[in-house]
Structure 1
Amino acid sequence: MLFRRFSLLVYALLILIPLLVVVLTSMKTLRETFSNPLGLPADGINIDNYVAIFQEQTMAGYFMNSVIVTLFSVTFTLIFASMIAFGITRLSSWLGNIMFTLFTLGMMVPAQVIMVPLYSLMLDLNLTNSLVGLILVNVSTTLPIAVFILTGFMKTLPKELFEASTIDGAGNWQMFTKVAIPLSLPSLSATAIFLFVMHWNDLLYPLLFITDNAYKTLPLALLEFQGQYSTNYPMLFTGVIIASAPMVIAYVFLQRFFVAGMTAGAVKG
């Protein structure tokens, strides 16, 4: 018991110490960061970097771009994935297994493998430097993992519920909206948080498709603080905290659904 508590304490310190360094550095000047990297800020709680990052670095625009891309990507992915997962569970066993396998194979393709053909396709469609194009890419690349998660949960739903709905005259759409979706809310919430983190932190596709400053997202904008010969660590860490805040807030308010969604499939027969 004592060893377990000690291990947890060490683990907590390994997480809290770097986090504390990031927070303290965001309240320092660049000169102070290099002269006293691990010390407390000389001026105490200083939010000048937070004010400057929005006033001088157009961070508000980058923040809104990330919000738009993330919200639409998560929403459309959940809509399509839930429909596909429901369809797979309603198909005959062999046909449903084939469809499920095809989507599972999509998870095995690394993003780096499809970068060149994907960029060529987006260029032909004139969707580079476009938030719409970025949303389409996000939805298409994360759809397999969302289908995998939701299909695994929907397979655990009692078939008797759907049979009873059929006897009552419900069609597939009514069974999907009135039975499958309400029962799948924990799994949908867990998947939404998972997708939110993926899309919000995504750097590869914005770096690949976005060159216009007007369409940059937060992870891509943070690269502006890192030069070839020097890095503005206070502003960079300030941007990291701003970029991390929505994920922390989302998890705090949705953690109950996240835990329920991760364990729901394990407790159903």
Structure 2
Amino acid sequence: MMTLKWLGNLLVILFAILIIAPLLIVLFTSFKTTPQFYASPLGFPESLSFHNFIALFEGQPMLAYFRNSIAVTLSTVALELLTAGCIAYAISRSGKRIGNLAFGLFALGLMVPSQINMIPIYAMIRSLGWTNSLTALIVVTSAVLLPLAVFMLTGFMKTLPKEILEAGEIDGAGEWRLFTRIALPLSAPYFAATAAFLFVIVWNDLLFPMLLLSGKDKLTLPLALLSFRGEYVSNYPQLLAGVVVTALPMIVLFVLLQRYFISGALAGSLKG
């Protein structure tokens, strides 16, 4: 038994090293100059120089890219939570046959890779005159991620105590009031967990911004980072400095929502 415990601890340590080592390499490289990087790609920086970060903001409209990413991410996550929350509540409150059928249809949506829909999505957006539009990116991303959000929130909604909802019905509350006054407050940790998960996906998304955006003033951060790759030479230290800057909002988000994220994940796993 003790051997298995030590083996488990060893596997956890090895897994942590596999996760932390690349992150440290990215962080150390962001403080190197280009000659230092090519001389010692995996070594420590000779000094903590913020030249790459300064050049990053001086050479590129990074604040505009940040605004675009924040606008797209927050709008998409908000629209996703509102739409998926209503659908998940409706599924959980429907009869078993209708609820299972509706849930199965959204579950089938998870099986369709988004890459398959690239051509029809682009054709539809072009026919609507929405090319190079952040609004189109928000709508498309929300539609693509809707099955995932519904899948997550439905499992959470089904854990709500039916007695509380039934008591509200007896008091004369309608479905909308039950949803906004009872279901939403009780599901706050679950919505926070789903929001954190969706935030990471949308913030890091490269496929649909690359498909739908073309103007430099509309680029999101992941798409803007591609501009650091030259045809013959790539400025890797500055590129990785951009990666560090791009990752900071996700780190802050996780720190702020850590309690809700963990409690929501545990509640779903224990009650599901």
Residue identity opposite 1:40 in structure 2:
F
Deviation at 1:109, TM superposition (A): 1.1
RMSD: 1.4
Deviation at 1:165, TM superposition (A): 0.3
User: Are residues 1:79 and 2:77 paired?
Assistant: no
Counterpart in the other structure of 1:100? 103
Q: Alpha-carbon deviations, 1:203-243, whole Å to 9, x = none?
A: 00001011110100011011111123221101110011111
CA 1:23 to 1:117, structure 2 compared with 1: closer, same or farther past 3 Å? Answer: same
Which structure 1 residue ranges, 5 or more long, are not aligned?
none
CA 1:255 to 1:233, structure 2 compared with 1: closer, same or farther past 3 Å? Answer: same
Q: Alpha-carbon deviations, 1:27-82, whole Å to 9, x = none?
A: 1111221122223323x111111111111111111111111100000001000000
Residue identity opposite 2:23 in structure 1:
L
State how many pairs are aligned: 268
**Structure 1 segment 1-269 matched on structure 2, within 5 A:** 1-42=5-46, 44-268=47-271
Which is further off, 83-92 or 111-120? 83-92
Which is further off, 186-195 or 26-35? 26-35
Percent identity between matched residues is 48
Which is further off, 49-58 or 78-87? 49-58
Separation in structure 2 between the aligned mates of residue 142 and residue 118 of structure 1, nearest angstrom: 14
SS at match of 1:267: helix
Separation in structure 2 between the aligned mates of residue 15 and residue 158 of structure 1, nearest angstrom: 38
Separation in structure 2 between the aligned mates of residue 83 and residue 68 of structure 1, nearest angstrom: 23
Shift >6 Å, 4+ stretches: none
Deviation at 1:247, TM superposition (A): 0.9
SS at match of 1:265: helix
SS at match of 2:32: coil
Separation in structure 2 between the aligned mates of residue 73 and residue 262 of structure 1, nearest angstrom: 22
Which structure 2 residue ranges, 5 or more long, are not aligned?
none
Separation in structure 2 between the aligned mates of residue 65 and residue 187 of structure 1, nearest angstrom: 27
Q: Alpha-carbon deviations, 1:124-166, whole Å to 9, x = none?
A: 1111111101000111011111011111111121211111101
Residue identity opposite 1:262 in structure 2:
A
Separation in structure 1 between the aligned mates of residue 89 and residue 15 of structure 2, nearest angstrom: 40
Residue identity opposite 1:4 in structure 2:
G
Query: TM-score, normalising length from structure 1?
Result: 0.95
